Amino acid sequence: MVSCKNSGCSLQDLNMQKNTKLGWIGLGVMGGSMCQHLMSAGYPMSVFTRSKDKADTALSNGATWCSTPAEVARQSDVIFTMVGQEQEVRDVYFSADGLFAEEVAGDIRGKTFIDMGTTAPALTLKLATYAQQEGAQFIDAPVSGGDVGARNASLSIMAGGEDAVINEAKVLFDHLGKVKIMGAAGSGQHAKMCNQIIVAGTMIGVCEALLYAKSAGLNCEKLVDAIRPGAAGCWTLDNLAPRILKDDFTPGFMVEHFIKDLSIAVNEIKMMGVQLPGLALAASLYEKLNAMGHGKSGTQALLLALEDTND
């Protein structure tokens, strides 16, 4: 049996033998489905998540529970992370029992770490630099597509890192969606910022259109069906407008996580010296929505903030 540890073996070689040991940290709205796709493909999986009950499905399907991220690092050849806030990312990697903990630091050579959450580019570069210094590989691979894309394995994956490393990992990414190489470390996160800027502006447009339609006495379901095939057609109109019309604000992607993403984008454009008024408006509206108590709701709950503005 081929062992990846300290061998420099290729992921493609390991994939053919189905003995690549995977690790997954973060089994939330999207992470749980993503992890399951890789398990269904036949990869052995070790998992860790802060709330162990979120790992129930993975464990019942054969995953191995690890009590710390460090344990995941020790047991795995390729480790995926999919966590929310920046401090969580720092803790998962750099805490005393994290992936880069001192107890495993000398043991990660040849391993590949893949961050599939949305992380500030500066922190991404810090993670990539540390991994490289220890003889490991790091890919920033944030995704777009929400809970639907995660369940359907149709995510858009924006990857930053060394081309050769990403190409080797493609055999794993293909079980989750379609990957595009965006450039060096951090480029995946910059691409995700572009994605979120578009998503934020589109969500405002969809919610405002529905408010307009309601005020004009239109049937909103008929409106969505009428405009979907035209120039207004978009993922948000297809996937989230129907939820809005049913007053379904359960999260495909949580408001509090979107606020985090938009905050990263706002900070980045400040450093670039660029002004994006649409981004600033979206960020302020989502902050308002959060203040209304909807931090755990889906991003489509933006309608509620706009309705409140008109009361």
Q: Which pLDDT score is estimated for 289?
A: 98
Quick check: 85 and 28 in contact, CB under 8 A?
A: no
Q: Where are the alpha helices (DSSP H) in the chain?
A: 11-17, 31-40, 56-60, 69-75, 86-94, 102-105, 121-133, 146-152, 163-173, 187-215, 220-227, 235-239, 241-245, 255-272, 277-291, 302-310
Residue 203 lies in a domain: yes
Which one from 21, 111, 126, 192 is the annotated catalytic residue? 192
* CATH number of the domain enclosing 69: 3.40.50.720
Three-state SS at 101: coil
Residue 76 lies in a domain: yes
Three-state secondary structure of 252-299: CCEHHHHHHHHHHHHHHHHHHCCCCHHHHHHHHHHHHHHHCCCCCCEH
Residue 47 lies in a domain: yes
User: What are the tokens at 28?
Assistant: 């939330």
Do 203 and 132 lie in a common domain?
no
Put simply, whether the predicted model's pTM sits higher than 0.85 gets the answer yes
Q: How large is the angle between the packed helices 255-272 and 187-215, nearest 10 degrees?
A: 120
φ, ψ at 120 (rounded to 5°): -55, 135
Do 62 and 119 lie in a common domain?
yes
Residue 4 lies in a domain: no
Do 141 and 283 lie in a common domain?
no
Quick check: 292 and 308 in contact, CB under 8 A?
A: yes
Do 180 and 51 lie in a common domain?
yes
DSSP assignment letter at 139: E
Residue 294 lies in a domain: yes
What total number of domains does the chain contain? 2
Other C-beta atoms within 10 Å of 154: how many?
12
Q: Which pLDDT score is estimated for 84?
A: 84
* CATH number of the domain enclosing 275: 1.10.1040.10
Do 196 and 52 lie in a common domain?
no
Cα gap 22→175, rounded to integer Å: 13
Residue 214 designated active-site: no
Cα gap 208→143, rounded to integer Å: 26
Structural domain span for residue 40: 11-184
Do 258 and 166 lie in a common domain?
no
- CA 30, 143, 253, 97 dihedral sign is positive
Do 134 and 231 lie in a common domain?
no
Mean pLDDT by 10 residues, the chain (311 residues): 43 58 96 97 96 95 97 96 94 96 82 97 97 96 95 98 96 97 98 98 98 98 98 96 97 94 97 97 98 97 96 82
Do 25 and 126 lie in a common domain?
yes
Residue 6 lies in a domain: no
What is the separation of C-alpha 252 from the centre of its chain, rounded to a whole number of angstroms? 11
